[in-house]
Amino acid sequence: VQLVELGGGSVQTGGSLRLSCAISEYTSSSFCMGWFRQFPGKEREGVAAIDSDGRRNYADSVKGRFTISQDSTKKTLYLQMDSLKPEDTAMYYCAAEFLARVPGGYCYTAVLMRADIDYWGQGTQVTVSS
């Protein structure tokens, strides 16, 4: 499974960006997908998660500003980022995992707590200037 992120770039404070993640194949109809970011010198952290049952979870730092969605017909994961702040500047990664079934809470844990997920994109830079 290959993932390719698109849509990073530079924007001013308060602006918006939409990241896309093209996924080569869905190996199961049950999945957990997420967006992560990494600041220089820091560990990768989960930003938003979505599973095949439609459950969404967000890190507190982005809640109310970022929206995760996915389109199975287009095999694409999205992250709509609004009201961007300079502290959102980071490398952003998409990731996905396909399972036989996705228990409630699994994706929240895998993305937001452990950053432990099978397939990763190469990352795209987001820079927010003040």
Q: CA–CA separation, 32 vs 111, rounded Å?
A: 8
Contact 88, 128 (CB under 8 A): yes
- Tell me how far apart the terminal alpha carbons of the chain are, to the nearest angstrom: 37
Q: Burial-class residue 96 by CB neighbours within 10 Å (0-12, 13-18, 19+).
A: buried
What is the rounded distance in angstroms from the CA atom of residue 98 to the CA atom of residue 21? Answer: 15
Per-residue tens of pLDDT for the chain, all 130 residues: 999 999 999 999 999 999 999 999 999 999 999 999 999 999 999 999 999 999 999 999 999 999 999 999 999 999 999 999 999 999 999 999 999 999 999 999 999 988 889 999 999 999 999 9
**According to the model, what pLDDT value does residue 114 have?**
85
Pairing status of strand 124-129 against strand 9-12: parallel
